[in-house]
């Protein structure tokens, strides 16, 4: 391979000194000279310079002047790098150290506001549990209600009338009372037959206030199949079914529901509520009812409340007693439906248990029907007595009370058509 011509000398000076490449082999110098190595050793024998041409694609510089290969290695192809395998050092010999207990993990504190999802789930779960418990308790208490066939059909029964009509009866039943309880409640020992001291018709209209009407127990009315007599004689003769039929034919109102409670049940409900505050309008001293009450607002327990609604030791006797019954019924319902009672399970559950175990209702009535009655009696009500025409004495029946036929007919006709009773027909309002 021919060597390239040396570069021309520089102008104005001697040519540059040429040095052999650093890695070039020891070659003889110009003719008649010998190259001596610095370490004093003889020079190595001359070797043939590498004259293999580079690969076509490799780049090469022209050889340096004076021979040699110019100091460049042949072009190499790049090879992939393989990392050598690392072997972990062998563990030290000896007993293994006991691993330390892991530290409890610490959750990082939230920097932002907490998401409400967890609390909403808890509230929803609590409401579901309360709902299940409430529904379960409702059905359990419903099974404790006493049921009778009070609203049995009979030939010629009047058709359904608008609104909802209840017949509430307070009987003098002493069922379930011990002799000690009879003495404590001053109910006496005469338990022959069954009688009623309280007969109330409650009309719940589709709109407007509820009307509560007292029917005096001495009202002289026709009793189906038994002629005319006191209205409470129907209860003594034929029980609830005959009393319902007598009230429907006397008033022209079809009864939709029936509820009856005895002496012991009434006093038990009052005691379960912790007593009921009542404003007594006048002093009442009645040994037969077992009470001696002073005028003024006071809390009545079960015993005094029962004597208050039974007493006739007043100037107007039965009329005063009916006024007292309606007034106490309103106070009782207000106490039973107050938030302090509804949110207190220690008071609500005993009250519902006593009420369910003491009430007699129609076969088709349930506890939720009673709840609807309590809802209808909330707030403002119209409390009155059937228009009275006078008193009389009837052999075989004794002293009786006569209705004002004209006013009583207009009174019940308004309720039968779900209209408010005219103000002129309302009497006996406390």
The string of DSSP codes covering 43-88 is PPPP-PPP-PPPPTTS--PPPPTTSS-TT-PPP-------PPPP-P
The answer to whether 404 touches 242, Cβ cutoff 8 Å, is no
pLDDT one-digit tens code per residue, 63-94: 555 554 455 556 667 666 666 667 667 666 66
The answer to whether 254 touches 153, Cβ cutoff 8 Å, is no
Number of domains in the chain: 1
- pLDDT band at residue 17 using 50, 70 and 90 as cut-offs: low
- Residue 50 maps to a domain: no
- Residue 153 maps to a domain: yes
Q: What is the mean pLDDT of the chain?
A: 78
The answer to whether 211 touches 376, Cβ cutoff 8 Å, is no
Find the mean pLDDT for residues 268-284. Answer: 90
CA angle 300, 258, 198 (to 5 degrees): 40
Which residues, 6 or more positions from 128, have their beta carbon under 8 angstroms from its beta carbon?
none
pLDDT given at position 153: 92
pLDDT one-digit tens code per residue, 19-36: 555 554 554 555 445 555
CA dihedral (146, 246, 239, 156) in degrees, to 10, reads: -80
Most confident listed range (7-11, 320-324, 361-365) = 361-365
pTM over 0.75? The answer is no
pLDDT given at position 429: 46
- Residue 343 maps to a domain: yes
- Residue 132 maps to a domain: no
Find the mean pLDDT for residues 245-274. Answer: 91
**Higher per-residue pLDDT: 175 or 271:** 271
pLDDT given at position 296: 92
Alpha-carbon distance of 234 to 254, in angstroms, equals 17
- Residue 152 maps to a domain: yes
Q: In terms of residue numbers, what domain contains 215? A: 148-425
pLDDT one-digit tens code per residue, 326-336: 888 888 888 88
pLDDT at residue 197 is higher than 60: yes
CATH code (residue 269) = 3.40.630.190
- Residue 186 maps to a domain: yes
- Residue 59 maps to a domain: no
- Residue 304 maps to a domain: yes
Instruction: Report the run of H or E that residue 333 belongs to, with start and end.
Output: helix 318-336
Q: Tell me the percentage of the chain whose pLDDT exceeds 90.
A: 33
Of 106-115, 220-229, 398-407, the range with the lowest mean pLDDT is: 106-115
pLDDT given at position 63: 53
């Amino acid at each position: 391979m021919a060597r390239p011509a040396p570069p021309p000398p520089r102008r104005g000076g001697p040519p540059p000194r040429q040095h052999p490449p650093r890695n070039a082999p020891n070659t003889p110098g110009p003719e008649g000279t010998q190259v001596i190595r610095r370490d004093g050793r003889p020079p190595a024998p001359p070797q043939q310079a590498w004259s293999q041409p580079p690969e076509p694609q490799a780049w090469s510089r022209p050889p340096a002047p004076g021979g040699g290969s110019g100091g460049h290695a042949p072009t190499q192809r790049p090879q992939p790098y393989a990392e050598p395998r690392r072997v972990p050092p062998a563990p030290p010999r000896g007993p293994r150290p006991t691993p330390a207990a892991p530290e409890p993990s610490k959750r990082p504190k939230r920097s932002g506001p907490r998401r409400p999802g967890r609390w909403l789930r808890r509230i929803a779960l609590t409401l579901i549990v309360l709902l299940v418990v409430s529904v379960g308790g409702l059905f359990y208490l419903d099974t404790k209600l006493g049921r009778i066939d009070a609203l049995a059909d009979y030939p010629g029964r009047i058709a359904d009338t608008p609104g909802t009509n209840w017949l509430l009866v307070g009987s003098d039943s002493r069922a379930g009372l011990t002799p000690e309880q009879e003495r404590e409640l001053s109910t006496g020992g005469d338990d022959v037959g069954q009688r009623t001291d309280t007969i109330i018709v409650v009309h719940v209209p589709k709109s407007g206030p509820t009307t509560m009407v007292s029917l005096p127990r001495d009202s002289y009315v026709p009793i189906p199949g038994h002629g005319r007599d006191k209205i409470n004689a129907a209860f003594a003769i034929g029980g609830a079914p005959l009393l319902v039929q007598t009230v429907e034919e006397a008033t022209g109102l079809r009864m939709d529901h029936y509820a009856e409670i005895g002496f012991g049940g009434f006093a038990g409900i009052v005691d379960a509520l912790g007593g009921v505050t009542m404003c007594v309008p006048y002093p009442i001293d009645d040994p037969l009812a077992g009470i001696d009450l002073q005028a003024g607002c006071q809390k009545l327990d079960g015993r005094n409340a029962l004597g208050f609604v039974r007493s006739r030791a007043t100037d107007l006797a039965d009329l005063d007693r009916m006024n007292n019954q309606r007034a106490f019924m309103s106070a009782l319902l207000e106490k039973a439906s107050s938030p302090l009672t509804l949110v207190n399970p220690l008071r609500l559950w005993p009250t519902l248990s006593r009420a369910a175990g003491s009430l007699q209702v129609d076969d088709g009535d349930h506890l939720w029907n009673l709840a609807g009655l309590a809802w209808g009696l909330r707030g403002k009500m119209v409390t009155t007595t059937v228009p009275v025409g006078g008193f009389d004495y009837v052999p075989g029946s004794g002293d009786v009370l006569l209705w004002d036929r004209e006013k009583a007919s207009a009174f019940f006709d308004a309720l039968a058509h779900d209209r408010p009773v005219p103000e002129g027909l309302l009497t006996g309002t406390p």
